[in-house]
Structure 1
Amino acid sequence: MQQQLSTLSSSPTRSLPLTGASNFRDLGGYTGHGGQPVKWRRLFRSDHLAALTPQDQALLAELGVARAVDFRGQAESAAHAYALPGVARHPLAIEPTVVQRALELQRAGRQLTAQDAVALMQETYRGFVHDNAPRFAALFRLLLASDAPTVFHCTAGKDRTGFAAALILLALGVPRDVVMHDYLLTNALYQRPPGMGSNAPEEVLRVLWRVQEEFLDAALHSVDSDFGGVQAYLVEVLGVDAAAQKELAGRYLQAV
């Protein structure tokens, strides 16, 4: 195990081999402002951390992870609670809405289709931009308070976490096409838990448990059309002004 940890530390890899979390990965290496790469081993994104094995926890300790930002809603957190030695958990609850809306449609006699599911996901992502901005603002305050290695996550690490990762990378000057590439990596990594949502048609589940460009695009289009772009959204809505963005770059971009 020690040899594996040393190898990971000396030769950074984006996806980390955890047994209890399939979508745990590093945001390092992407090129940001001024051609400076995002520092490795500072910012991690993941699915939930309640199933980590002792070996997984040892790997997080080796990586120096000191903070976990948890975007899960109250019921999700209660159902899969965790406490990791040496890791401070910061709950920034964003309640899930897709399942609730899907159930409302079903109660109204509507048989859900994949197209319905895509529309629900897009509506959810627009909600991140408008309704959940305070949670993402709090995330940036944490990142500005300390550059201690941090993991942020929700349940699957794909939607709430995906939008948070996009905001961080965009704030650091990473181009949108690269941000989208990082977002879509979930489809290659995340392993859907068996039996989840088994009452819904498989075509619907394939939408709900994966990510599509249309989802993140819905959020970014809302940022552009409703707020005048990412820069204005960062400053006016999330409170990440020019000085804060400079501080972020100093903390999380590698000087070249």
Structure 2
Amino acid sequence: MLDSPTTPSEIEDIDCDFDSIINFRDVGKTVNSFLGQKVLKEGLLFRSAKLDDASPKDRLRLTEVYGIKSVIDLRSKTEHLNAEEKHKLFHKTLPLKVTGLNYTRIILPSHRFELFLLWQLSWFNIFKFLLLYLTNRPPAISLISQHALAPRGLAGLAIDTLTYSGPSLSLCLSSLSTFPPSPTIIHCTQGKDRTGLIVILVLLILNIPPQAIEHDYHLTNSSDPLIRNIRLEEVREVGLPDSFADTHAEMVMAVTTWLDKRYGGVEGYLDTIAFGELKRRRLREVLLGYRPQALSKSPETSIHITKSETSI
């Protein structure tokens, strides 16, 4: 049984001595450290910001030290195009992808979500956006950021993602449920919002206490101030306010409250996006390391455990 106490030496070290990979952590380790016992299997689910700038040492740490085998990249087509252009300028001697890793691209938010955002604009701004998008994509992205993304706020966008990107979310969760378990790192650009939402869903499925979920989510803010400056540059580059560089104080509560009110909980929501009980059971078996039904009957257990689309 995975119930041995976590020692101080095992407490997570965010970013973990990488040269150019930020917001990196082992989700199992951060949750176990917070709870004071080993509930999740460690070394299976990692999260970070983008890997594009990884140095040769970083690439070796990912594959040899952490044993990571797979990458789930949540970025949009536009983000990938920008990443390719920057990589050509600054990292000509290294491939964009880390050699030896299996990459899966799951675009989040989905095309349906982006159409929803487009319809939040006035007719004038819709016309302006389409014209800019065909001629000069960055200003088009800034326009939709300022007039559609920013007014929704981080929590609003998370709920919109749940509403309009169900198939992409289901595909991502399924990719984390494969047998035999494969150490996987999931990332978007900053490893904060889209990545954070996926991890929140995973931990809710595993019935992890909300305080532990919040702990992992807010670790993004504990990074070096210089790293926050990087996030600030990135959000300003796409026309978003500085508040988008940080985590949202009530994100986990906002998501769980919405799921409870709309679907009666996370499981009701997951049923609607084709991530049913059998798939949830498989995810639990992968990340908990045992069948949770057996653990839930154990009297000494302190934590009761139950239960691609195109883009602009």
Instruction: Give the TM-score normalised by structure 2.
Output: 0.66
CA distance in 1, matches of 2:235, 2:285: 43
Q: Deviations over 1:47-90 (max 9, x none)?
A: 01101110000001112211111111111112114311111111
Deviation at 1:152, TM superposition (A): 0.5
The amino acid that maps onto 1:210 is D
CA distance in 1, matches of 2:99, 2:52: 13
Q: 1:245 aligns with which of 247, 265, 280?
A: 280
Deviation at 1:159, TM superposition (A): 0.3
- Distance verdict in 2 for CA 1:104–1:65, change over 3 Å: same
CA distance in 2, matches of 1:201, 1:131: 23
Q: Which residue of 2 is the match for residue 13 of structure 1? A: 12
Q: Which residue of 1 is the match for residue 228 of structure 2? A: 191
CA distance in 2, matches of 1:191, 1:197: 11
CA contact (8 A) 1:128 1:219 kept: no
The amino acid that maps onto 1:222 is W
1:135 aligns with 2:168: yes
The amino acid that maps onto 2:268 is A
Deviation at 1:238, TM superposition (A): 4.3
1:149 aligns with 2:148: no
CA distance in 2, matches of 1:128, 1:176: 20
CA contact (8 A) 1:69 1:152 kept: yes
Deviation at 1:196, TM superposition (A): 3.6
CA contact (8 A) 1:12 1:40 kept: no
1:78 aligns with 2:50: no
Q: 1:176 aligns with which of 210, 213, 230?
A: 210
Deviation at 1:197, TM superposition (A): 4.8
CA distance in 2, matches of 1:144, 1:224: 24
CA distance in 2, matches of 1:71, 1:86: 19
Secondary structure of 2:213 counterpart: helix
Q: Which residue of 2 is the match for residue 229 of structure 1? A: 265
Q: 1:90 aligns with which of 104, 111, 115?
A: 104
Structure number with greater Rg is 2
CA contact (8 A) 1:64 1:149 kept: yes
CA distance in 2, matches of 1:124, 1:17: 32
Deviation at 1:36, TM superposition (A): 5.9
Q: 2:146 aligns with which of 95, 103, 128?
A: 103
CA distance in 1, matches of 2:63, 2:184: 12
- Distance verdict in 2 for CA 1:166–1:102, change over 3 Å: same
- Bigger shift: 186-195 or 155-164? 186-195
Please give the root-mean-square deviation of Cα atoms over the aligned residues, in Å.
2.9
Secondary structure of 2:185 counterpart: strand
Q: Which residue of 2 is the match for residue 23 of structure 1? A: 23
Secondary structure of 1:45 counterpart: strand
The amino acid that maps onto 2:83 is H
- Bigger shift: 70-79 or 230-239? 230-239
Deviation at 1:119, TM superposition (A): 4.2
CA contact (8 A) 1:21 1:52 kept: yes
CA distance in 2, matches of 1:149, 1:201: 35
- Distance verdict in 2 for CA 1:59–1:91, change over 3 Å: same
- Distance verdict in 2 for CA 1:100–1:170, change over 3 Å: farther
CA distance in 1, matches of 2:73, 2:237: 28
Deviation at 1:216, TM superposition (A): 3.8
CA distance in 2, matches of 1:78, 1:103: 21
Q: Which residue of 2 is the match for residue 210 of structure 1? A: 246
The amino acid that maps onto 2:59 is Q
CA contact (8 A) 1:171 1:234 kept: no
Give the length in aligned residue pairs. 232
